[in-house]
Structure 1
Amino acid sequence: MKTHARAVVVGGGVIGASIAYHLARAGWSDVMLLERDELTAGSTWHAAGLLPLFNMSYATSHIHDYSVKFYKTLEEETGLNAGFSVVGNLRMAQSRERMDEFELYASTAETVGIPYEWLSPDEIRARWPLVRTEDLRGALYHPTDGYINPADVTQAMAKGARQRGVEIHRRCQVDAMRWTGSEWVVSGRRMVEKGGNLLAGEETFEIHAEHVVTATGNHAQRTAQMLGIKFPAIPVEHQYIVTEPDPALVAYREAHGEHPVLRDADAKWYVREERGGWILGPYEEGAPARFEYAVPDSFRADLFPLDLDRIEEEYMSMIHRIPSSETVGLKDDYNGPICYTPDGNPLVGPAPGLRNMWLAEGFSFGITAAGGTGYYLAQMMVEGEAEIDMASLDPKRYGDWMTTEYAARKNEECYAHVYVLHHPDEEREACRPLRTGPAYDAQAASGARFGCVNGWERPNYYAVTFDRSGDDAPDAFAAYGTPLADFSDHDSRSFRRGGWWDFARQEADAIRNGVGLIDATAFAKHVVTGDGATAFLDWFTCNRLPKVGRINLTYALTEAGTTRTEYTIVRQGETRYYLVSAGAWSAYDADYLRKAAEDFSAEHGVPVIVQDVTSQYGVFAIAGPRSRDVLKELIRDADPDTALSNKRFPWLSARQIELGMCPVNAIRVAYTGELGWELHHPIEMQRYLWNALLEAGEKHGMRLVGARAQNWLRQEKSYRAFGTELGRDATPAEAGLDRFIDLDKEFFGKAAMLAKGIRSTCVTLLVDGPDDADPWGREALFDGDTRVGRLTSGGYSVHFGKSIGMGYVTPDRAAPGTALQVMMQGKLWPATVLEDCPYDPTNARIRVDG
């Protein structure tokens, strides 16, 4: 056993085997894999082996698509049959709304190139007569899908890894991982074999490695404790049962071949053929989380007692859908742990706060994801970045606020939601509210319906009604309105325009024509100080730094030259900077910023201090033509009439002001494209400031506005958003952000950015779509029969009176006026590329004086 390696992979399930294989294939032959028992001894051994391509995530769709294609190549390379049965996958729908979900997925599948077919109930019955179809609306069929033998595919990848130089050691229990400042030391105990399976005892080992990857499955919480970090990978019980042979199925196979995998999403189960019988895998309510702190040492390749009462409804629905199964007996049953995360996506990427430590944890669909995870994670480790944006899987999407209780309850919810309709406007209820600003109760009382961003509650919209019978001046925008206590956010969700849509339209219209107040407290906020702060930020970001009292929008790049983070930088002093970034990514941004600052400080010998102040400051954004009028009511200044004028408070500047008794760091910028300010204030004064703003805004007709209206408005201005238009698969230049790139200076990632050139271009489009739906930002773009790009954002434009979207197209189709089509509801709808910043392109409304 070697004592030094370039990379050590901890965990010998299907994920670990794939990572070891792909690292070796990428050129890292000096790789070791350590497994505590036997390969596949974790969840891999009792997995059903399904390979579902269906996924609403762009990144995960790429991962699953790669796996399905890759597994078909393993036998040729290794000589081992991976047990892949390409039988197809029929995903059935009982309702029109379920078909809406399938149509939205299908447009995402188009962006990845995943093949699929639409089938009617009659077509289903003709091809697969064992399936009852009279209560179905239709189905989505994946002909390249199927199932695989988990043990066989793991062993095939392990053999491929060995052939490329990887050392694989079984019965090696890792007990500690220690960072020395330059390398990792992985230590533990190894069972010594003698005479075949006879054990001669234990011996300790210690391996020095440049990189470590953890793929520890159900043991993720033990891994987290060893590393001194948190991540929410906790197993949940998953049951499935295997029936005796079904004579009708045996006869079907003799005549037609193997039956496809069936999924009745509305009944919450999958079914596949197994030795002439059926495997039923339900995703029922009430499945408990297990091993919340650690897996007992006595639990090896073990199972839990079956709880058939919990899955009775799903079992009966299988009998309804496949009538021939009613008289078939049960042969085997399984109830084992499957690791989950709160959002269902695995944790793949650099570990928070650690160097050269990579996580591959929390895989609820591990067999499907293994191949692609190994491929893209190896790209990240070897090349510095993957070819697709992996941010949606990054372990740092959960911050230190996350607890074991939170992870366990959210993972149980996620399990139960596997087949629940995945509305794009869905907000899941478990563990909420958790992180709230002081104005939360007042907002709820005013009709707010909240979304959850990085644990923070943030108003999505306000469910209110207005009596305008007496309105005559100054216009029709009455303040606040009457909250609709009986309006359900859950019931308003839809794949089309949900019940919340008209509230958001009114809010967007209010900002365009009056004034609105938005809670943006969830923004991530950091203060960077020290003698090296200016030189560091100048190197770390691509735009020139602002002067004292001014602000600039800028971007931190990845090693590959793509966009890693968007920052609004406020320069508060010669060596003091206040950085604002996306609220959903606070831990993600903080980790990257701190590590970069540490490296710069060590290399240059100057102090750079980074402080996370996110929870110290709340943020309200006030915007609209009358926003200045509202603030004049509150500002305490020797000359309040000019305090907010262009001369004293110009656009893209920041000032310390007083609004009543509240000190405010006011930034003159508005994400909506109207005159406006961000009001950064001490969090403990938020309730006072909220009340003061509402009182001052009443006579000016100020409306309370949520995040959904703001998202529509920023698209009218072509404002890119991090996590949609901005990410690690496109450079700032490809995003069309040339005005924020200073090529006269050197900055991190510059050379790589320039070397990439322009592979695709970010554009804004107006869509002549259906009357009852808008794009969500997941749809494919076409030029005739040719797929030419994809949307990354979508919504409705109150200014243009039609659907709007942003996305990426091939550069030759980015010119304003270009006619394209967007796939929505299974059809192609006309879309036209607009000039960048189609609403108020000269920014006259933002700069208006007063």
Structure 2
Amino acid sequence: MKTHVKALVVGGGAVGTSVAYHLARAGWADVMLLERDELTSGSTWHAAGLLPLFNMSFATTHIHQYSVEFYKTLEAETGLNAGFSVVGNLRMAQTKARMDEYMLYATTAETCGVPYEWMTPAQMNERWPLLRTDDLEGAIFHPTDGYINPADVTMAMAKGARQRGVVIARKWQVDGYEWTGSEWRVTLTKMVEKGGNLVPSGEQQIITAEHVVTATGNHAQRTAQLLGLKIPAIPVEHQFIVTEPDPALVAYRKNGGPEHPVLRDADAKWYVREERGGWLLGPYERNAPARFQYGVPDHFRADLFPLDLERIEAEYMSMIHRLPTSEEVGLKDDFNGPICYTPDGNPLVGPAPGLRNMWLAEGFSFGITAAGGTGFYLAQMMVEGEAEIDMASLDPKRFGAWMTTDYAVAKNEEAYEHVFILHHPDEERPAARPLRTSPAYDRQAALGAQFGQVNGWERPNYYAPIGFDDHAARSFRRGGWWQYAVDEAKAIRTGVGLIDATAFTKHVVKGPGATAFLDWFTCNKLPKVGRINLTYALTAAGTTRTEYTIVRRGIDEYYLVSAGAWTAYDSDHLRKAAEDKAGAFGYIEIHDVTTQYGVFAIAGPKTRDVLGAVIRDADPQTVLSNTRFPWLSSRKIELGMCPVDAIRVAYTGELGWELHHPIEMQNYLFDLLMAAGEADDLKLVGARAQNWLRQEKSYRAFGAELGRDATPQEADLSRFIDLDKEFHGKQAMLDKGIRSKCCTLLIDGPPDTDPWGREALYLSGEKIGRLTSGGYSVAFGKSIGMGYLPPALAVDGTKVEVKMLNRLWPATVTCDSPYDPKNQSIRMDG
């Protein structure tokens, strides 16, 4: 066995073999894969082998699409048939709401090049007469996918990896990881069979590796313990059953009938495909339990759990309803095995938090579908420094250190149950909530706040009358909450509104090396003391890694504010970058102070009236004036008895301040502001209205317009880039040029629907771009969106079309900041 490798992949399932294959294909010549048992002995062996392309995530859709196309090439390369049955995938809808979901998904699919067709109930029944369709609204059909043999595709990738020089070693278990400062020292133990169990032999081996990838599937909790990490990948039981041959199906196929596609009745919560003349049913039922939350027992190998037919009775009966000939057919086989989930259902792919050259590929609930694409894009990240698509939505650091095992269990069970639940874009799932709450949570709830969750924090989405049912208000069109958000947005444009922004990520960076470090770390000029700047940290590939508002508190002290969803992501990147440059810049301290400060954003033309009533100053009439407190500046002020770091900036584009305050004083400050605002009809405002308002100002959002697949120049943010200085990623950014450009569009869409930011853009029938954000503009009385177009089209006045509800609707590219382009409102003097 080798004792040193460039990359060590731990885990011999579909994901691990794909990673090893793609690293070798990308040019890394010294790759080894370890498996503690036999290849495919984890969840891979009992997977149903489906390849569903349906996914609302841009990144995950690309990953699945790559897999489907890649698997079709393996036989030509390796000589092994992966057993890919390209029968298509028919996703049926019992309701109009489900068809709305499919139409929203379809435009996302278009942005990723995923083909699809629409089918009526009559067309389905004509093509597959065994299928009952009289109670369906319609279906979306993917002709290019189907199902594959999980073991065969894994073995084909393993052979392809070996052909490219990868060494695959079986029956070796990792028992320890040690970072030496330049590489990983990995302790291995040889495993042997004993009485049907797999046990340590006592033989050990040390391997050093420059990079390690963990793809350990159900054993992710053991991996987490060895690495000292929290990895919220915990398996959930998944059952599927196989029937005896169905005589009607056998006769249908014998008479020349085509094989049924993979059938999905999402409203009934199951998938079905043909299996040797019978039917294979896989339900996603309620109350499927999580397993192995503290690790897989030593005796559990390629084993299964007892079947619980009562738990899936409703789904079984609904299969009989949809396929009536299956009623008299007996059961031939059953499977109930562990499949890993994460709290949001998406896998964990990317660098491990706090560790160097340690990469995670864990938590795959659709591992066969995702394996090929995960290997491809993770190899890009490792070899080239960044993937060609933005992988931030799958980053392992999207879950912070606050996450516990109990939280992961509750959310993973919920994610399993929600596989076929209507995926409203405004969906808010209830499990493990409320958990992280700001002090004013109870006060806001008593005033009608309808909360969303970001990074575990409860954050008001909008305010409604007490007793309002947020779940019933959800829709793929303008939901029952829509008018409340309209009223909130109008209040900020015409009066004054208060937004709880406590979830913002906040860091203090200080020390003798802080100024030189941040000057290199970000692309804009650093602000003067008492001033603020908007700036960006870039990846090594020149794309946008993070957006920061930087407040300069002193010569060498800075307060950094970034997106609330990305606290661990930003903190890890900051610390690693500072460590990398410590020798060049000197001593730097970095403190995550997110939970120490609450934040209220107050904005609107009447903001000074409200703040003026509670500010304590020798000259309260002028303290908030442009002269004493100009736009893009910061000051320490006192609001009653509460000390506040006030920042004159507003994400809504109106006169406003962010009030950063000691979090233990939040309730006092909330009551003070609410009382002071009564005279000016101060309105509480949620995140949805704020999102609409920021689009009217063309303010980019990280995770939407800003990400690791576009540079700040492509995001049309050149005014925040200082090309006269050297900064991380500068040359790579310049080398990329302007491949596409971010712009704002006003949309004459359907009367009851706004875009969600997932829609494809067209010109003369040709797809030319996509939206990254969407909503409603109270200033213009129509839909609004932001997105990317070819540079020649991203100019004021260009006419394009946006795909919504399976139709093309006219849209016009507008100037940057269509509302108040000269910033007169936000600069308004008192």
TM-score range, shorter chain: over 0.9
Task: Identify which of 652, 657, 664 aligns with 1:684.
Answer: 664
Aligned partners of 1:718 and 1:806 also within 8 Å: yes
Matches within 5 A, 1:224-373: 224-254=224-254, 255-373=256-374
Which amino acid letter does the alignment assign opposite residue 91 of structure 1? R
Structure 1 residue aligned with 2:79: 79
Structure 2 residue aligned with 1:472: none
Aligned partners of 2:37 and 2:191 also within 8 Å: no
- The CA distance in 2 between the partners of 1:506 and 1:29, in whole Å, is 60
Write the deviation string for residues 651-682 of structure 1: whole angstroms up to 9, x where unpaired: 00000000000000000000000000000000
Which amino acid letter does the alignment assign opposite residue 793 of structure 1? S
Write the deviation string for residues 115-155 of structure 1: whole angstroms up to 9, x where unpaired: 00000000000001010011000000000010000000000
Which amino acid letter does the alignment assign opposite residue 350 of structure 2? G
Q: Per-residue deviation at 1:485?
A: 2.1
Structure 2 residue aligned with 1:383: 384
Q: Per-residue deviation at 1:199?
A: 11
- Aligned residues: CA RMSD: 1.2
- The CA distance in 1 between the partners of 2:191 and 2:534, in whole Å, is 56
Structure 1 residue aligned with 2:826: 846
Structure 1 residue aligned with 2:689: 709
Aligned partners of 2:535 and 2:550 also within 8 Å: yes
Is 1:40 matched with 2:40? yes
Aligned partners of 1:67 and 1:369 also within 8 Å: yes
Structure 2 residue aligned with 1:584: 565
Matches within 5 A, 1:357-756: 357-463=358-464, 484-601=465-582, 603-604=583-584, 606-756=586-736
Matches within 5 A, 1:114-193: 114-191=114-191
Write the deviation string for residues 36-82 of structure 1: whole angstroms up to 9, x where unpaired: 00000000000000000000000000000000000000000000000
Which amino acid letter does the alignment assign opposite residue 756 of structure 1? K
- The CA distance in 2 between the partners of 1:638 and 1:200, in whole Å, is 76
Aligned partners of 1:253 and 1:259 also within 8 Å: no
Matches within 5 A, 1:192-203: 201-203=201-203
Q: Secondary structure at the match of 1:492?
A: coil
Which amino acid letter does the alignment assign opposite residue 629 of structure 1? D
- The CA distance in 1 between the partners of 2:758 and 2:604, in whole Å, is 30
Q: Secondary structure at the match of 1:256?
A: coil
Write the deviation string for residues 748-798 of structure 1: whole angstroms up to 9, x where unpaired: 000000000000000100010000000000000000211000000000000
**Compared with structure 1, are the counterparts of its residues 786 and 560 closer, same or farther at alpha carbon in structure 2 (3 Å cutoff)?**
same
Write the deviation string for residues 81-138 of structure 1: whole angstroms up to 9, x where unpaired: 0010000110000000000000000000000010000000000000010100110000
Q: Per-residue deviation at 1:191?
A: 3.5
Aligned partners of 1:617 and 1:680 also within 8 Å: yes
Task: Give the paired residue count.
Answer: 827
Q: Per-residue deviation at 1:699?
A: 0.3
Which amino acid letter does the alignment assign opposite residue 164 of structure 1? R
Q: Secondary structure at the match of 2:792?
A: helix
Q: Secondary structure at the match of 1:813?
A: coil
Structure 1 residue aligned with 2:30: 30
Which amino acid letter does the alignment assign opposite residue 124 of structure 1? M
Structure 1 stretches (4+) deviating beyond 4 angstroms? 197-202
Aligned partners of 1:568 and 1:579 also within 8 Å: yes
Write the deviation string for residues 586-639 of structure 1: whole angstroms up to 9, x where unpaired: 1100000010011111x3261011000000000000000000110000100000
Aligned partners of 1:192 and 1:203 also within 8 Å: no
- The CA distance in 1 between the partners of 2:245 and 2:585, in whole Å, is 72
Structure 1 residue aligned with 2:91: 91
Structure 2 residue aligned with 1:817: 797
Which amino acid letter does the alignment assign opposite residue 339 of structure 2? I
Is 1:784 matched with 2:764? yes
- The CA distance in 2 between the partners of 1:487 and 1:198, in whole Å, is 56
- The CA distance in 1 between the partners of 2:652 and 2:826, in whole Å, is 9
Q: Which moved more, 1:183-192 or 1:627-636?
A: 183-192
**Compared with structure 1, are the counterparts of its residues 186 and 198 closer, same or farther at alpha carbon in structure 2 (3 Å cutoff)?**
closer
Q: Per-residue deviation at 1:486?
A: 2.1
Write the deviation string for residues 794-835 of structure 1: whole angstroms up to 9, x where unpaired: 000000000000000111211111110000000000000000
- The CA distance in 2 between the partners of 1:311 and 1:328, in whole Å, is 17
Aligned partners of 1:192 and 1:202 also within 8 Å: no
Structure 1 residue aligned with 2:223: 223
Q: Per-residue deviation at 1:689?
A: 0.2
Aligned partners of 2:189 and 2:201 also within 8 Å: no
Q: Per-residue deviation at 1:257?
A: 3.1
Q: Per-residue deviation at 1:323?
A: 0.4
- The CA distance in 2 between the partners of 1:460 and 1:788, in whole Å, is 32
Which amino acid letter does the alignment assign opposite residue 101 of structure 1? E
- The CA distance in 2 between the partners of 1:251 and 1:533, in whole Å, is 75
Structure 1 residue aligned with 2:103: 103
Write the deviation string for residues 273-322 of structure 1: whole angstroms up to 9, x where unpaired: 11111100000000000001100011010000000000000000000000
Which amino acid letter does the alignment assign opposite residue 546 of structure 1? P
Which amino acid letter does the alignment assign opposite residue 519 of structure 1? D
Which amino acid letter does the alignment assign opposite residue 585 of structure 1? W
Which amino acid letter does the alignment assign opposite residue 566 of structure 1? E
- The CA distance in 1 between the partners of 2:200 and 2:365, in whole Å, is 36
**Compared with structure 1, are the counterparts of its residues 756 and 701 closer, same or farther at alpha carbon in structure 2 (3 Å cutoff)?**
same
Write the deviation string for residues 545-576 of structure 1: whole angstroms up to 9, x where unpaired: 00000000000000100000000000000000
Unaligned residue ranges in structure 2 (runs of 5+): none
Aligned partners of 2:629 and 2:635 also within 8 Å: yes
- The CA distance in 1 between the partners of 2:812 and 2:506, in whole Å, is 37
Q: TM-score, length-normalised on structure 2?
A: 0.99
- The CA distance in 1 between the partners of 2:718 and 2:792, in whole Å, is 18
Structure 2 residue aligned with 1:214: 214
Structure 2 residue aligned with 1:797: 777
- The CA distance in 1 between the partners of 2:755 and 2:675, in whole Å, is 37
Write the deviation string for residues 329-355 of structure 1: whole angstroms up to 9, x where unpaired: 100000000000011100000000100
Aligned-pair identity in percent equals 77
Is 1:808 matched with 2:779? no
Aligned partners of 1:765 and 1:805 also within 8 Å: yes
- The CA distance in 2 between the partners of 1:789 and 1:176, in whole Å, is 47
- The CA distance in 2 between the partners of 1:233 and 1:277, in whole Å, is 33
Q: Secondary structure at the match of 2:158?
A: helix
- The CA distance in 2 between the partners of 1:798 and 1:191, in whole Å, is 65
- The CA distance in 1 between the partners of 2:649 and 2:520, in whole Å, is 24
